[in-house]
Structure 1
Amino acid sequence: DTPLLRMLFVDTIQVDGDSEFKAPFKRLEELIGEQGKDFVASLYKIWGGESKGISTTLLQRMNAKHAVVFRQGGKMTIMTEHEDEIRYSSRYDFGMLYPKRIQVAITSAGKPVQKIQSEAWIEHDDRRFYYGIQLAPPGRKLKKDYYNLWQGFSVEPKKGDWSLYRQHLGLLVKGVPDHLDYVISWLADCVQNPGTQAGVALSFKGRMGVGKSTAAKWFGALFGAHFMHLDSEHRLLGSFNAHLHHAIVILADEAVWAAGKQGLGALKRMITEDTLSIEPKGLDVIEVDNMIHMIVCSNEDWFVPRHFDERRFAIFEVSDKHQEDHEFFGAVKKQLFQEGGLAALLYDLLEWKLTRNLRRFPDTEESERQKTHTMSAKHEWWYEQLISGAPWLDAQELP
């Protein structure tokens, strides 16, 4: 290897990227044949061709964890995959993660060329790159060159026994067969059509320890990172809600909707609207497809806005038959997570025939009670007069 040979062979090429830089080496390999493959590879590495930035090994290692993403609003950001979590950072912050200087090439004079590792990767032609980020479960078409947030179900469907969990679901509706059929149909629709929101939130009211939230969490276990358990109104409806971007199933646990009309309006839109506004911290707001299937659980007297014409909340009262029954719930958990019950549940939900219109949910006693709790003062007065049944005989002027 001499600077003169390198100048004649490499430096005379107008290099716009790795593909053009590699071209003469590929041609040389073709001319020499298989026996010269190792020689050409070593020549390519010596002359800084290996990545024109970083080594192939380092490139692959960084590509496995990071990607450059062109987000809505025209801004570039760095995406990092950490276990089942997605994080975003600016170019500057990403540089703080990889501040070390590395050798990226050798000059014709044989001197090493160095760059900060993060910059070398960002500027590399073969760095992982996406034009955007999308949640595209089955039934949703992934846009070209977009990163898909969908990770699939947590288990493979397989025939088996989940009879104890079915009993558990029966508790959520006090054993009423038609109500249980509705709940299972809702769960099946969620599994079969994860990319389309149901338009109705399952809502369960019951005492503490009756298993309502537990049932929801165990169903949510099918969705892995796409299930979110939120126990505050702020995390559900507040700003900086990037965690909702990959959500399919949300458990709003013990939430009380006391945020006024604005908060209630946001809740309703989340249940029925086709799009969802996502605001990552430090980045612009983006509009994404809304695929949220919501389950609400509470022990409060009033926990969902159920107006007379409201069709967004299917409300059920939970039986206290197994309240604090750790033996029963322990058996359900064991069947689901140790004996293949979760895979069996997924199998049967995928096979469930979707014949019900989920927006025509059962009217229950608890649903009627939620209506009275949602009434305005005027409507509540009229309702009390009608319930009391006292005759109006004195012709007094009505308020």
Structure 2
Amino acid sequence: MILYLNLNLRKDIEAMKTKKKAKNNFSRADFFRTLWQYCEGGDADLRAFPSKRTELVPSDKPEAVDKFCADNDADNLFFGVALRRGGRTKKHITEIPAVWCDVDYKDTPRKAFIEKSKHFPFKPSVMVFSGGGVHLYWILQEPVTQVEIGQVELINRKIASALGGDMNATDASRILRIPDTVNRKPERNNALCKVERIDNFAYFLDDFDDLAEPDTVKTVSDKDTDYDPAKKNRRAEQIMQCAFMAHCQADAATLPKIQWYAMISQLVREKGGVRLIHELSRPYPAYSAQETDSKILHALNDTGPLTCKRIRDLWDCGKDCGVKSPAALAHKKEADDNIREQIQKLNEKYAVVMLGGKCLVMQETVNPILGTPDVVFSALKDFKNFHANCFVRGPDNKKISLPGLWIQSEERRQYRDIVCEPNGTPDGCYNLWRGLAVEPVQGEWSAFKNHIFEVICDEDRDLFRWVLAWIADLFQNPGGERPGTAIVLRGGQGTGKGTFVEQIGKILGKHYLPVASQSQVTGRFNNHLKDTFLLFCDEALWGGDRSKAGVLKNLITEPIIMIEAKNKDAFPLKNRVRMIMASNEDWVVPAGIDERRFAVMDVSDRYKKNYPYIEKIKDEMKNGGREAMLYDLLNLDISDVNLREIPKTKALLEQKINSMNTVQKYWYDPLADGEGDTIWENWVKSDELYQNYLMFCDNIGQKKYRVLKPMFVKEMKKLCPKMTLSRPRAENQVRGYNFPSLEHCREMFEKFINMPLDWYEPEDKIL
């Protein structure tokens, strides 16, 4: 008989009804008030997992339930449907307020459950969304006691069979989720357990007598117990790995009943377990399907599988697998697999590396600006702090810190060193080399080739040959010895300097880096250079900063580079950097007198700001030109080109002159002026010569670079070896210097600078 509660509910239930609550607007207090409204009183069994904290609180104290939930908010929280006194086991049950069903959408999809519920004759009094399914309660007008526990469990199984519920949740001592708490199973994504509906229905226990018997009893007849190995569940497979379970299978014909029951208790709650139990039991001479079904039902109602400690008293396997029971092997395997999966996910992104004597975590990432692959390094502490909120469940269901687990795992990805090596990766090292961005294919790139010849090399065929060889060497020999020279392009804006370098860079892909700041080239922090093969310094002016000249030159020639990121120790790498510089300034690089690094060339302005011309080049290169250029340059014979010997261009000479020290500039100035200057008297007083030098330094704004007189004289003798000291009587024995002829001095200066100069003659100056 169904009893409608609109006449019999207590006042608080009636008040709840008059509120006309909307769906999903029922509170935890509403839920417990409805569930236990007909009970005389008892203790609610509250439990928290995985912390295993428990508490018995009076059922009429909802605030005690709220406090327990607040104190254990980080756990999964459950309550016993039945009220207890004096303990938490089945024998302590005093009243059972309802029958229930736990439906997991993973086992019974929501659509299937809805279809089944349409044909179920009893509407639930309460429906709770569990985070992954539903908990259904049918309130009993007359709560049942210990005497009727068996009947309650049978009805629970009948309901579970009809609605696709969990048979493991039919036990009278079952605990279910507390509403308004979070389902913290990893696969549930912190879903909120909440009351979906409270309806005004109450039932008597015998209303459910006519429900069909549960499938657990119906389907374990002899004809249905043929075990299909193809349907073997992975969890059951893991359980059968246990030595005791293997013994039960091998010795099934003579297995003692207590061991037989121990075997049943391990498999009964697993999917396909009933069929497997019958298959394992059939070799016993006195096998009976009915007796086996009875043991299965008994095991379902038992507190759980027999423990390893108990099994050892029956049959000692001589092993310790680190689990409480053979059934736990399945969970252990799942936990181990999950841990391994999480470690592999971290391995996809992170690795432990030794770098400069430090143990660091390397992260593979993508540069947000350039869109190219990159790696960054973090201290172990920083890595752990970033992932401090990441946990996995261990075999004992305890939370384990994922970063710490990964650091200690034998399966973590790790490297003993970092290299950037196109010629192959040394064992145990992480290679920063990613290869070229395009594949070589025969084709056409004449527009770009003509651009190099006409604009970059200003139709100088020898220079054109040298530049092509320089680029070809970069592609042919990226991991070999570098030539130790850099290309320097001097010319106005819009002449095509950037277009030239950009197309080379697109072939290199990730290993090309354009910069526009001197600090990015000569600064202390140079992590961006660790895997750079072509560095394009676009207007990254040297600016005459002598303190940076050595850094710039070392970057071009030194085989090793010390890489230093901010807040990280420096570490050495093979220096792969080749450099192209571009500027519209007169003085671009610190070219020394015997300069051997900078191949300086003046770019032609014949196509300056000719945008259709530039677009034609870009279109050609985008449509197969880069592949064709790579193909041709990879096959270009450059054996007859000495890339270590830079072309002696007029632009290089001007860089040398601009880079001279103050004494050299002082001497060059009168040489350029020629005859008629007072300096070309046969004899000049020593003090007068030096004072003249000091005034010259002041006039050109380089006072701080003046040298003392002894150094001045020493430098002058290098520039003019035939300069001699004398004390003529006509000058009252005053010390002075004799100089050779202007022509001879110019000749010695050209020899010193290792380049011919275009001197102005006196008549040219007058004209």
Q: Same fold (TM over 0.5)?
A: yes
Unaligned runs of 5+ in 2: 1-265, 267-304, 367-372, 690-767
The residue that corresponds to 2:419 in the other structure is 134
Q: Report the TM-score when normalising by structure 1.
A: 0.85
1:16-165 mapped onto 2 (5 Å cutoff): 46-48=331-333, 51=336, 54-73=338-357, 75-83=358-366, 84-107=373-396, 112-138=397-423, 141-165=424-448
Q: Structure 2 vs 1, CA of residues 394 and 342 (structure 1 numbering), >3 Å: closer, same or farther?
A: same
Q: Structure 2 vs 1, CA of residues 345 and 45 (structure 1 numbering), >3 Å: closer, same or farther?
A: farther
CA offset at residue 89 of structure 1?
1.4
Q: Report the TM-score when normalising by structure 2.
A: 0.45
Q: After superposition, give the CA deviation of every residue in 1:67-108 in whole Å (9 maximum; x if it has no partner).
A: 1112222x211111113111111223223443334334223x
Q: Distance in 1 between matches of 2:410 and 2:684?
A: 85
The residue that corresponds to 2:660 in the other structure is 375
**Alignment of 1:223 onto 2:508:** yes
The residue that corresponds to 1:352 in the other structure is 636
The residue that corresponds to 1:384 in the other structure is 669
Q: Distance in 2 between matches of 1:379 and 1:290?
A: 33
Q: Structure 2 vs 1, CA of residues 90 and 11 (structure 1 numbering), >3 Å: closer, same or farther?
A: farther
Q: Structure 2 vs 1, CA of residues 384 and 331 (structure 1 numbering), >3 Å: closer, same or farther?
A: same
The residue that corresponds to 1:12 in the other structure is 320
Q: After superposition, give the CA deviation of every residue in 1:324-380 in whole Å (9 maximum; x if it has no partner).
A: 11111111111111x111111111111111221101122111111111111122212
Q: Distance in 2 between matches of 1:10 and 1:216?
A: 72
CA offset at residue 253 of structure 1?
1.3
**Contact 1:51–1:124, Cα closer than 8 Å, also in 2:** no
* Structure (1 or 2) with the larger CA radius of gyration: 2
Higher relative CO (Cα under 8 Å, sequence separation at least 6) belongs to 1
Q: Structure 2 vs 1, CA of residues 49 and 307 (structure 1 numbering), >3 Å: closer, same or farther?
A: same
Q: Structure 2 vs 1, CA of residues 45 and 89 (structure 1 numbering), >3 Å: closer, same or farther?
A: farther
CA offset at residue 246 of structure 1?
0.8
User: Which amino acid is the alignment partner of residue 308 of structure 2?
Assistant: L
Q: Distance in 1 between matches of 2:565 and 2:631?
A: 35
Q: Structure 2 vs 1, CA of residues 50 and 130 (structure 1 numbering), >3 Å: closer, same or farther?
A: farther
**Contact 2:534–2:580, Cα closer than 8 Å, also in 1:** yes
The residue that corresponds to 1:21 in the other structure is none
Give the superposed CA RMSD. Answer: 2.5
Aligned pair count?
Answer: 365
**Contact 1:251–1:295, Cα closer than 8 Å, also in 2:** yes
Unaligned runs of 5+ in 1: 16-39
Q: Distance in 1 between matches of 2:543 and 2:411?
A: 51
The residue that corresponds to 2:538 in the other structure is 253
Q: Distance in 2 between matches of 1:45 and 1:134?
A: 43
User: Which amino acid is the alignment partner of residue 319 of structure 1?
Assistant: S
Q: Distance in 2 between matches of 1:46 and 1:370?
A: 75
**Contact 1:201–1:294, Cα closer than 8 Å, also in 2:** yes
CA offset at residue 192 of structure 1?
1.0
**Alignment of 1:176 onto 2:460:** yes
The residue that corresponds to 1:341 in the other structure is 625
1:278 to 560, 563, 569: 563
Q: Distance in 2 between matches of 1:395 and 1:232?
A: 49
2:589 to 282, 304, 327: 304
Secondary structure, in 3 states, of the residue corresponding to 1:69? strand
Secondary structure, in 3 states, of the residue corresponding to 1:340? helix
Q: Structure 2 vs 1, CA of residues 86 and 44 (structure 1 numbering), >3 Å: closer, same or farther?
A: farther
User: Which amino acid is the alignment partner of residue 159 of structure 1?
Assistant: Q
Q: Distance in 2 between matches of 1:198 and 1:221?
A: 22
User: Which amino acid is the alignment partner of residue 229 of structure 1?
Assistant: P
Q: Structure 2 vs 1, CA of residues 47 and 383 (structure 1 numbering), >3 Å: closer, same or farther?
A: same
In terms of mean alpha carbon deviation, does 224-233 or 117-126 score higher? 117-126
In terms of mean alpha carbon deviation, does 91-100 or 241-250 score higher? 91-100
User: Which amino acid is the alignment partner of residue 634 of structure 2?
Assistant: L
User: Which amino acid is the alignment partner of residue 230 of structure 1?
Assistant: V
**Contact 1:253–1:297, Cα closer than 8 Å, also in 2:** yes
In terms of mean alpha carbon deviation, does 270-279 or 377-386 score higher? 377-386
1:192 to 444, 469, 476: 476
Q: Distance in 2 between matches of 1:49 and 1:12?
A: 19
The residue that corresponds to 2:764 in the other structure is none
**Contact 1:48–1:104, Cα closer than 8 Å, also in 2:** no
Q: Structure 2 vs 1, CA of residues 330 and 279 (structure 1 numbering), >3 Å: closer, same or farther?
A: same
Q: Distance in 1 between matches of 2:669 and 2:628?
A: 49
